[in-house]
Amino acid sequence: MSDSNVVRNGTQGLSMELTRLVLDAVLSATADAVVATDRDGMIQVRNPGAARIFRHHTDEALGQSPDLIISKRFRARHIA
């Protein structure tokens, strides 16, 4: 069974609120940077690992372009 199946199967039947709490706990416990953008490319989600790695407070980056946290030399690798 793949990891994605474990996550999918493990959350079946959970309420949206509980699913969100589980996701928040996973993101908070992850040491790596996790940043998610909306369709317009603005940051909507980031975890404490991203705040530590990119040295910006989580609230500062929300609603902003990833250009705020990713240096020019690395943007091509991270912006789709």
**Domain boundaries defined on the chain:** 1-30, 31-80
Residue 2: per-residue pLDDT = 47
Quick one: 70 exposed, middle or buried, by C-beta within 10 A (0-12, 13-18, 19+)? middle
Which one is the CATH code of 31-80: 1.10.10.10, 2.102.10.10, 3.30.450.20, 3.40.50.2300? 3.30.450.20
Report the DSSP beta bridge partners of residue 36.
45
CA-CA distance, 79 to 17, in Å (whole number)?
30
What sign does the dihedral 8-66-64-60 (CA atoms) show? positive
- pLDDT averaged over 10-residue windows placed end to end, the chain, 80 residues: 50 75 91 90 90 81 86 74
Predicted pLDDT of residue 76: 77
